Structure 1
Amino acid sequence: MATNNEIILRPENAPIAKKQLINLFPKQVECSYVSCYCEENVYKLCQDVVARHYNEIHKCYAVFVSNPKRTVPLWRQRAGKDDDKLVIWDYHVIFLYQAEPDKCLVYDLDSELPFPTYVHKYITETFRTDNILKPDYFRYFRVIPATEFLNEFASDRRHMKRNDGTWIKPPPNYPAIRSTTSTHNLEDYIQMDVTKGPGEVFSLTQFVQRFYKPAT
């Protein structure tokens, strides 16, 4: 042990120990999940971080993926039917954890990729590139800080009901999510007008530039 007057130096060329990343959700099967309610699944992930790793919540984001035509192709989705597991959703929501400036993880409970997956691999496998798509299928990303999402998001699940009031897909067994100001504002998150709604909206290229920082 060093005294107050001693300085401990790292030997020249000695390797610097890598900081261990926090595993926010050790087991995927223990996460709250209801098929076709991806926005609520991510909301629950945000709540779990607050409960278990509060100091990390400011590094977390809810990310809505959609476009004006509500036709966004995503590969490697568990609901996909072909070899590439391609699905065209009206929108999708993922959880993002920017643990370090050059280390960003994606948690997607609907993906067949590992849980989590580093952002560059996730983007490459799930979104691929817009260059092979018509503009109507380009993906846009509304990125909302997790704390803001928890405080402001609300959904009464009306989008999952038919005209006769029956459910398209069974809802979660917990009460609908409300904020202090709204009972339903899901549409504000799905629409991709950069001048409206919470958070920031990015194109695919901008999203990559924002969250993928190669280690130097």
Structure 2
Amino acid sequence: MSVNAQVQFPKNENNLKGDKSTKPLFPKPADCSYVSCYCEENVWKLCQDVSIRIPGELDRCFVVFISNPCRTVPLWKQRAGREEDRLVIWDYHVIFLYALDSKSCLVYDLDSELPFPTFFHKYVTETFRTDQVLKSDFHRFFRVVSAKQFLQHFASDRRHMKRPDGTWIKPPPAYPAICTSTSTHNLDEYINMDTGTGPGQVFNLTDFVQRFYKIEK
């Protein structure tokens, strides 16, 4: 399957388990901090874990916010999906990327039914599929931020998970809300997909694939 007419994936996809040179950053999902519906904090915790255990690898790690102006992004193979293809439509989602070298990139998504981790090209093919058959309101955009920058600047007081009466839509993590010396909440800056504003860089699906998928020459 191709993401679009310009980006073709090779047929002989690598199997992560069979690639002895590839060592996942995290042993298994059960060892990772996870709270349902708090994907941005789950990924922040992954970044924090790398910074503590193997700080030398942090420069190879990236955080990716997926959204669009309508806050309607279809993703397949998500555990929350109820149909056979596990399709969900989120207002936004967040994943963790590990760029091993110039040819390999792994995706860590604690909400996905795919292996943890999954090679970038396999994840994109099965999770995003293509924008060509979707209405423009459902096209996916990607804000890519370095893990180091995300750790230093991201903040959330979890206000987006509260109802008007102050009750929680979903129970929050047990640890304190993430804040910095300058901000208690800047989540919207990451979800916003306007180019030229906010942290990191915004890509459409085609450019996102070209940024992280490298075909071996």
Bigger radius of gyration: 1
TM-score (norm 1): 0.91
Aligned length: 199
Gaps of 5+ in 2: 1-18
Aligned twin of 1:13: none
Aligned twin of 2:139: 138
Distance 1:27 1:127 in 2: 23
Aligned twin of 2:195: 194
Aligned twin of 2:171: 170
Distance 1:86 1:184 in 2: 29
Aligned twin of 1:4: none
TM-score (norm 2): 0.90
When residues 132 and 182 of structure 1 are mapped into structure 2, their CA distance, relative to the original with a 3 A threshold, is same
1:214 aligns with 2:206: no
Structure 1 counterpart of 2:150, one-letter code: F
Aligned twin of 1:36: 37
Q: What's the CA shift for 1:19?
A: 7.7
Deviates more, 1:58-67 or 1:46-55: 46-55
Kindly provide the CA deviation profile for residues 60-103 of structure 1, in whole angstroms up to 9, marking residues without a partner as x.
00100000000000000000000100000000000000011110
Distance 1:21 1:118 in 2: 10
Q: What's the CA shift for 1:132?
A: 1.0
Q: What's the CA shift for 1:112?
A: 0.1
CA root-mean-square deviation: 1.0
**Aligned positions of 1:24-63 closer than 5 A:** 24-63=25-64
Structure 1 consecutive aligned stretches of length 4 or more whose deviation exceeds 3 Å: none
When residues 19 and 79 of structure 1 are mapped into structure 2, their CA distance, relative to the original with a 3 A threshold, is closer
1:105 aligns with 2:106: yes
- Bigger RCO of structures 1 and 2 (CA < 8 A, at least 6 apart): 2
Aligned twin of 2:16: none
Gaps of 5+ in 1: 1-17
Report the secondary structure of 1:142's partner residue. Answer: strand
